[in-house]
Amino acid sequence: MKYGNKIICTILGACFVVICAAQTDSLSRKSHFSGSAVSWARGEIRDGALPAENGEDFAAFLMGKTSLKLEYTNPWLDVRFSPKFFGVWGSSSSGKMGVEEAWFGLKSPAGLFVRVGRQALSYDDQRIIGDDDWAMAPITHDVVKAGFEGKKHKVHLLLAFNQNDENLNGGTVYLNGGQDYKSMQTLWYHYDPLPWLGGSVIAMNMGMQSRRKGENKSYFQQLFGAYLDFHPKNFGFQASYYLQTGKNEYALPIHAWMASAESNWQINRQIGINAGYFHMSGDPLFFVPPEHAFGLAQKTEVRGFNPMFGSHHKFYGAMDFFYVTTYYGGNTPGLQDLHISATWSPMKSLDVKGACHYLATSVSVDDKGRSLGHEWELSVNWKLASNVSLQAGYSFMHGTEIMTLLKRSDEHNRLRWGWIMLVVTPELFKL
């Protein structure tokens, strides 16, 4: 009997090993490991800024970025690791190594998932949360992202808590860290009732470390909004509205909002047009202090809308005058943008786009009105191969006196920017 038990145990053990081996082999056949890269080099020429001490008001430089994306996936697990190098050519200080993304995720066939780690986030049209891949250092977040994705419904929950270091004491003070916020909770829900109609709502609560002297606490600001996407056949219409409230890091109450509307029409395979308008609220007491002077007005509330973590280069003009660089005086006068663009594709590998923006502030600046002027843009995207493209662009800003005040530019009637970029996106391997 003793030997019979051993034989039975041996048979059962062998069966268990065979079953496990079969399952492992089955899982391995469904597992994939891949590697790809994104590498670009861009040259820029900027002209028309405030002259430097040597009298030159232009700049020229080359920059580049290379990032590697390693991904492993199987039916229940996803892992991504993406190191990067970026910098200005020849600079001893700006060449940097970093990690663009590093996360792992668990998922179920029912659509439930959770991802933990550093991630690039993109929601709706990327106006509030986007990756801004134009920049050398795209926007990423250290978050837990969990939710459900089905055929018509998507629910995402984002949770984050940031700290400067693994402190032994000192509480939870978080200043000058890698993120703008100390803590963040976001709930996003998207619904597609029809193939050509979808909409989203978002609610965000963001905790900021107090910057008031001697105060160790957090202040919380909230954002609520909705996004609509209507796209039957070759026509599209998108609209959004967002409201900001709460308090900023200086304990000032926030009352800000923004609204946008976009329409696009693909006339035929070669020609498409787009037109839209958005309005972002501004601080009503906005003023510009004289050069080499500090402002003296006492700010009691925040009415300037903050587009948070959006892909700013995509929306506010290619020259990045707004919401990428700051205004003099520290406040924001808000922004209005009425724009129209057309894209011509004479062949599948070539796109030519022209755009015009009429720009204005939301509030009057120094009693001089609101108009900032016109920005004209021309860009070309030529796909040389399946994973190689050559891109170039030229922008001209015909500004007003207000533009001169806000950006400290002497020659506001000839602000120019040109660029050319080579982009390579090879797939390195796939196992």
Q: List per-block mean pLDDT (blocks of 10 residues) for the chain, which spans 431 residues.
A: 44 39 51 96 85 70 95 96 94 83 96 97 96 85 97 97 86 86 97 97 96 90 98 96 95 95 96 97 70 55 91 88 66 91 96 96 85 94 96 92 73 80 96 91
What are 95's two structure tokens?
A: 């060449």
* pLDDT on residue 22: 40
Residue that is written with structure tokens 């910098």 in the block: 87
Greatest C-alpha distance within the chain? 102
**Contact of 117 with 191, CB cutoff 8 Å:** no
For the entire predicted model, the pTM comes to 0.87
- With tokens 């998207």, the residue in question is 190
Which of 186, 139, 99, 184 lies closest to 311, judged by CA?
139
Query: The tokens of 172 are what?
Result: 């939870």
How far CA 164 is from CA of 158, 173, 211, 257, in Å, comes to 20, 8, 15, 31
> What is the distance in angstroms between the CA of the first residue and the CA of the last residue of the chain?
49
At residue 425, the pLDDT reads 96
Q: Residue 365: what pLDDT?
A: 82
**Residues β-bridged to residue 424:** 39, 388
